[in-house]
Amino acid sequence: MLSHEPETTGSEPLLRDYFFERVRPIVEKALADNDRGHWPLIVLHFDFKSTEAPLLHAVWNLLGEYEGWITTAVKTADPNQLSPFEPKPILVITEESDEQEEVFFRQVPVGAKLRVFGSAHDTPVEATSREERIHLAATLPPEKLLSTPPTNYRRWWNNSWFVVEEGGQKQAGDWTAADDRRLRALVEHAHRLGYWIRFYTLDGFQPADGQGWDDDYNFGSREAVLARWKAALAAGVNFVATDQYEDLATVMKTAGKP
C-alpha cells in the first residue's frame, strides 16, 4: 500500500491499483502497437525510504505479476557483464542501497530476468565540513565523483543539482556558459562509462504557487528552471526530476524530446 503517514488507516491504495492498473490501457495499447523504438514510455522510479527485506520482496513479487510490461535483462554470472535489455513499455529503476541490490539482484538466480535497475555508488569524497563537501561536489572533475563502470544491475547515476551549481537550487544565480559546460561534462562522463544520468529535483515557482513542494529544490522562478530544463535536455540528460511535470512535458515536446 501507499501512505505518507506513519500510521495506516486501511484506506490507503495498493501499489497495484495506484499505479499498475491505472496505466494498464497505456501499456496494453503500446504492446499491441509494438512500436519498440519509443519504449520505455513510462519510468517507474522507486525512491525507498525504508529498505526492510519484506517490503523489497513484496515489491519484487508485484513486479513479477507485471513482468510482461517491464523492461528486463538476463542476470549474468559475472555482475560486470551487462546483458542487453529486453525493452517493454515500463522501465523500473531504484537507487543505490546495498539492501536493494541484495533483493533485486544478488538473490535473483543466474539466467533469470532482472526487473529493476539500481543506481551507481558515488565515489566517496573526503571533506572536513558540509561546506567543503558542497564545494567539492560542484568543482571536482566528474571522474572523481564516479569512477566505476556500470554493472548488470547498476545502470544509472543519480545526482543532486549540487554537482552542477555550487549550493544547488537555492544558491543558483543566472545560468551561465560555465554552468552549461559543467553539466555537459557530467553527462558526457556518465554516457562514456555507459550510464544513464538523472538530476533531481528541478523546480521553479513563487512561494504562493507551491503545492506542498520542497522549497530546497526551488530555483525561485519559472524562468530560472526553464533555463535548466532546456540545458538538461540539450545536454542529453536521461532523467529529469521535477514536481512540475506538465510544464516540463510541454518543454520536451517543443524540443522534440519523447
Do residue 61 and residue 177 come from a single domain?
no
Bond from prior residue into 40 cis (ω within 30 degrees of 0) = yes
Position 218 scores a pLDDT of 97
Do residue 253 and residue 131 come from a single domain?
yes
Please list, in sequence order, all residues whose beta carbon lies within 8 angstroms of the beta carbon of residue 229, skipping any fewer than 6 positions away: 202, 240, 242, 248, 251
Q: Residue 167 falls within a domain, yes or no?
A: yes
Do residue 148 and residue 197 come from a single domain?
yes
Greater pLDDT, 194 or 128:
194
Q: Where among 119, 143, 160 does a domain terminate?
A: 119
Q: Where among 119, 144, 163 does a domain terminate?
A: 119
Cell triple for residue 53? 527485506
Do residue 92 and residue 209 come from a single domain?
no
Question: Distance between CA 9 and CA 27 in Å, rounded?
Answer: 31
Q: Residue 4 falls within a domain, yes or no?
A: no
Q: What is the pLDDT of residues 8-18, one digit of tens each?
A: 888 999 999 99
Q: Residue 57 falls within a domain, yes or no?
A: yes
Do residue 113 and residue 151 come from a single domain?
no
Position 8 scores a pLDDT of 86
Q: Residue 99 falls within a domain, yes or no?
A: yes
Do residue 238 and residue 133 come from a single domain?
yes
Do residue 113 and residue 138 come from a single domain?
no
Position 4 scores a pLDDT of 76
pLDDT band at 126 (very low <50, low <70, confident <90, very high): confident
Q: Where among 85, 101, 119 does a domain terminate?
A: 119
Position 178 scores a pLDDT of 97
Do residue 62 and residue 182 come from a single domain?
no
pLDDT band at 122 (very low <50, low <70, confident <90, very high): confident
User: Is 0.95 topped by the overall pTM?
Assistant: no
Tell me the residue range of the domain where 75 lies: 10-119
Greater pLDDT, 235 or 134:
235
Q: Residue 26 falls within a domain, yes or no?
A: yes
pLDDT band at 207 (very low <50, low <70, confident <90, very high): confident
Cell triple for residue 147? 569512477
Do residue 111 and residue 226 come from a single domain?
no
Q: Residue 88 falls within a domain, yes or no?
A: yes
Question: Distance between CA 250 and CA 25 in Å, rounded?
Answer: 23
The mean per-residue pLDDT over the stretch 46-75 comes to 96
Q: Residue 249 falls within a domain, yes or no?
A: yes
**Looking at the chain, how many residues does it have?**
258
Do residue 147 and residue 96 come from a single domain?
no
What is the tally of structural domains in the chain? 2
| DSSP secondary structure letters along 56-88 | HHHHHHHHHHTGGGB-EEEPPSSTTSPPPEE--
Do residue 107 and residue 45 come from a single domain?
yes
Q: Residue 3 falls within a domain, yes or no?
A: no
Give the pairing of strands 85-86 and 118-119. unpaired
Do residue 129 and residue 109 come from a single domain?
no
The mean per-residue pLDDT over the stretch 211-224 comes to 94
Position 56 scores a pLDDT of 97
Least Cα distance to 164 among 192, 197, 118, 191 occurs for 197
